[in-house]
Amino acid sequence: MSDDRWNTVLVLGGIRSGKSAFAEALVADAPSVRYVATAVGGEGDPEWLARIEAHQRRRPQSWSTEETGADPARLAALLTEAKPDDTLLVDDLGGWVTALLDPARQPNDDEADVAALASAVRGCTARVVLVSPEVGLTLVPTTPIGRAFADALGTTNQALAEACDRVALVVAGRPVWLKDSAGDPVPGVGGAALAAPSTGVTALGDISEKSDLSATGAAAELAAPETTLAEPRLVAPAAGGETLTAGAPAVLNEPTQQLPVVGVGTPIEPGMDLPLPDADAGPDARDRLVNVDFAGTGLGSLVEAVEFAAATQGTTIPRPWSSVRVLLVSGRHDGGAAAGDDPADAERRVAEVEHGEGVLSRLAGQAGADVAVLRVARSGAIEDGPVTDEAAVDVALGQGWRLAEAAADAGRDLLVLASIGVGTDAVAAALSAAITGAEPVELLPRVLRAGGRFDDEAWMRRCAAVRDALHRIRQAPRGAKDLLRELGGTDFAVAVGALLGASSRRLPVLLDGPVGIAAGLVARDLGSQARHWCLLPDAGHLAIVAKGADVLGLNPVLDLGLGLGEGANALASLPLLRTAIGLAAATPVHPALLAEPGDGGATDLIVPNDEDVDFAEPEPDGPGPATTEE
C-alpha cells in the first residue's frame, strides 16, 4: 500500500460532474501514468469524438495510453500484469460495461467477468484510479438495453467499491469521500474534511472558491503545535483593495471537504523524487524570440520569465498566468531575532490582508489573485535551543504541502509566497548562513523602523542572536529537518512544504524575499528539483536574497529594487511578467523571414541557422486512442 494508505480508488460521478478531472488530479504527481481507455466505436459521431479529443488534450505527454476495446477481459489482465511502481488510470467503466454487454459476446456470464475484475483490482500491486459513471440516480430506463446497462453498471460499481481502498463521489465538481482507506464509510461525509492519515496533519477546509465570492475561515493561533496547525483564511481582494468576502452569504463561508490527491501523504524526506520542468521547451521558447517581429532587440531580461513559463508549462509558446494564489505565512520568533520588530504592527498588517486592505491586498486584487493567510505557532529563540520539535516540523511541512495542493486543485497556475512576521529576517539569515557558509553579518538586512529610520542597535542584537545560534549548532547535524527544528520553526517549515508541494503538482512559484529564499535553500536539500519551479522577479537590494538566489541558480528577472514587503514585490512585478509572456505568444515571425519562392504565391519559412528553431505552436498533448467522456 502507498505511503498515503491507498492503492486503489473508485471515482463515481454523473455526466459532466468533473469525475475525470478529479481522477486525473489524483495521479498528477506520478512520474508516468498508463491511461487505460475503454471506449469503443464513435467513429461516425463528431460530438463524441470531440469529447474524446478534449480528454486527450488534458493528458500530459509523459502518459501512455492503452485501449481495452471490445475485450473486457483485457482490463483485468492489465491490472494483473501491473507492477508495484506503476500508476494506472482507467476511464471509464461505462465503456467497459458497454463492451461487456455486446450482443456478439452473448450468451456470457457477465457477473463472472465483474467478479474477475474486482478480484484483479483487489490483488493489484500498482496504484489504480478507476472512473465510473453513476447512473442509478435517474429514472429507470424505458428500454431493455438501457435497463440492462444500468443494472450491470450498478453491479460493477458495487463490486469495485467493495474492492477499492477508497471511494469518492463527484457532484458538480465537488468530491465527497464515501469510503476511507480502512474500508469504512467516512464519518461526517458532506461536512468534515478527510485528513491524509499518514501525515498527521489536521485536514484543511477547502480553500477553493464556492463562486466568484471566496470562502473565509477562522484564522486561529496554533493551540497544539505538536499535532495541528491553524486553518488558513482565504480572501479575494478586489482591484480597488476591498475584500469580496464582505457581506457574502453564510453558506459561502462554511468549510467544505478538502480534495486529497496523490502526494499528500508522501513522506517529506531528503532525496524526494519530484518532477522537473520541460528541459527543451524553455530554451526553444528563447530561441523562437530571436525571429519574432519586435521593432528592437526584444524583451531584454524579461526573456527569463518567458523561458521559465515555457519550461514549467511544457510548451514553446506559454500563456500568461491567469489564476494566481498568494500564500501568506505569518510566524513569530522569540529572542534576539525579533529585536526591532513590533509584534502589534505585524499583526496589524496581517489583519489588513484578512480584510482585503493594505499594499499586499491591493496588489493581489489588481492581479486577480486570492490570498490564503496562515498564522502558525510561535517559535522559540534561536540562540537558546531548538525552536520547535521534530513532530511540529513534520506537521508544518505537511501543512505547507497541502496548501500548495489546494491551490493546484483550485485551478491556480501560479503561487506567490509571502511572509509577514516577527524575527523572520534574522531566522532567514541564520538558515542561509548555515546552508551556504556565508557570513551572517553580510546576509542580515538592516532593521528599518517606521519613518525610514534604521535601528542599528536592534541589528546588532539580531547579529548576536544569529551568531550564538550558529555556534550552538556548530557540531549538530545540518540536515534540512534538523535546521528547521533548530532554527527555522513552523513558519519556515510551512514555506518549505509549500515549495515541495507546488513542485509535485508542477505549480510555478514566485519568490522575492528572505523567507522564500531561505525556504528554497532548505527545500533544495529535500528535493533538489524544487528550485527549478521557482522564479525570482526582483531581488531588491537585500544581500540575503541575491546571495541565496545565486546558490539556488535563480537569476532575478528585473532590477527594480523594490521594498514593498515579501510577496508584494512579486505582485508588483507580475503585470510586466504577464505582458512579456503574452507578447511572446502573440507576436508573429518577422515578415522579412518569410520569402516568396516564385510566382506560385506560396511562402517558405526561412530558418537562418539550423533546424532547431520551431515557430509553430506545438500541440500540448498529441492525439491518442479513444476514451470515454463524462
CA distances from 8 to 178, 260, 330 (A): 14, 14, 37
- Give the gyration radius of the chain's Cα atoms: 27
Q: Residue 383: how many CB atoms within 10 A of its CB? A: 21
| CB-CB contact of 526 with 483 (8 Å) | no
Q: Which residues pair with 171 in a beta bridge?
A: 174
Q: Say whether 254 is catalytic.
A: no
The residues with which 34 forms a beta bridge, in sequence order, are 64, 88
Q: What would you measure as the largest C-alpha separation in the chain, in angstroms? A: 89
Catalytic residue among 357, 383, 405, 566: 566
Omega before 538 cis (within 30°)? no
What is the DSSP annotation of 133-147? E--TTSPPPSSHHHH
Long-range contacts formed by 104-112: CB under 8 A, 24+ apart = 104/70, 105/72, 110/152, 111/155
C-alpha cell at position 82:
501491473
Q: Dump the DSSP string for 557-626.
A: SB-----S-TTHHHHHHHHHHHHHHHHHHH--B-GGGEE--STT---EE--SS-TT---SPPPSS---S-
Q: What share of the chain is helix, strand, coil (3-state, %, to 5)?
A: 40, 15, 45
Residue 233 main-chain phi, psi, to 5 deg: -110, 130
Amino acid found at 543: A
Dihedral of CA 579/584/586/588: which sign? positive
Contact predicate 375/350, CB 8 Å: yes
Strand partners, 372: 234, 327
Helix (H, G, I), strand (E, B) or coil at 203: coil
Indicate the pairing of strand 8-13 with strand 34-37.
Answer: unpaired
The residues with which 538 forms a beta bridge, in sequence order, are 558
Rounded CA gap, 505 and 596, in Å?
A: 46
Quote the CA–CA distance of 181 and 165 in Å, as a whole number: 5
Active site residues: 566
